[in-house]
Structure 1
Amino acid sequence: MNLYKEIEININIYVETKGLSSYLDKEIRVLIKDQHQEDYINVIKYITDYIITNKPTISENQNIGYYSWLLQFRSEDKNYYDLYEVNRDGSDFIEGCDTAVSIVRSQSELCSHYGLPVQFPNFSQMIVISEGVYEGKDIEAIRYESPEHMTGWWLITDDYNDDIESLKTVHYHHVAFTRPDILKYLAIPFGHRFLMEDGNISISKD
Structure 2
Amino acid sequence: MIEISSLDPGIGYVTCGFGSIYGVEYKFEVKSIEFLLYCRDIAEYISSYIQNGNKISHNETVNLGMWSLIAKRMGGYISFYEYNDDVNDYVPGINTSAGVWGEQRRFCDEHKLLFCPPRPDQLIVITPNALSGKICEGARYSSEDHMSGWWILSDDYDEGDTSNLRLIHPLHLSIRSINFTKYLAMPEGYCFDERSGEIFFDESVL
Corresponding residue of 2:33: 34
Q: Does structure 2 retain, via aligned residues, the 8 Å contact 1:24–1:58? A: no
Alignment: residue pair count: 197
TM-score normalised according to structure 1 size: 0.78
- Give the direction of change, closer, same or farther, for the CA distance of 1:20–1:152 in structure 2 (3 Å limit): same
Q: Which residue of 2 aligns with 1:3?
A: none
Q: Runs of 5+ in structure 1 lacking a partner?
A: 1-5
Name the CA distance, whole Å, in 2 between partners of 1:37 and 1:134.
Answer: 28
Query: Which residue of 2 is the match for residue 154 of structure 1?
Result: 151
Structure 1 SS opposite 2:52: helix
Larger CA deviation: 145-154 vs 14-23: 14-23
Alpha-carbon displacement from aligned partner over 1:87-113 (angstroms, at most 9, x marks no partner): 466465443323322322221222233
Offset of residue 130 of structure 1:
2.6
Question: Contact 1:34–1:98 at 8 Å: present in 2 too?
Answer: no
Specify the alignment match of 1:108 in structure 2: 105
1:63 aligned partner: 61
Q: For residue 191 of structure 1, what is the aligned residue in structure 2?
A: 189
Q: Corresponding residue for 2:92? A: 95
Q: Residues of 1 paired with 2:103 and 2:174: CA distance?
A: 14
Q: Structure 1: how far apart are the matches of 2:111 and 2:78?
A: 38
TM-score (norm: length of structure 2): 0.78
Q: Is the 8 A contact 2:100 2:174 kept in 1?
A: no
Identical positions, percent: 27
Distance 2:37 2:165 in 1: 41
> Structure 2: where are the runs of 5+ without partners?
none
- Alpha-carbon offset, residue 85 of structure 1: 2.6
Cα offset, 1:115, TM superposition: 3.1
- 1:74 corresponds in structure 2 to 72
Provide the alpha-carbon RMSD of the alignment.
2.7
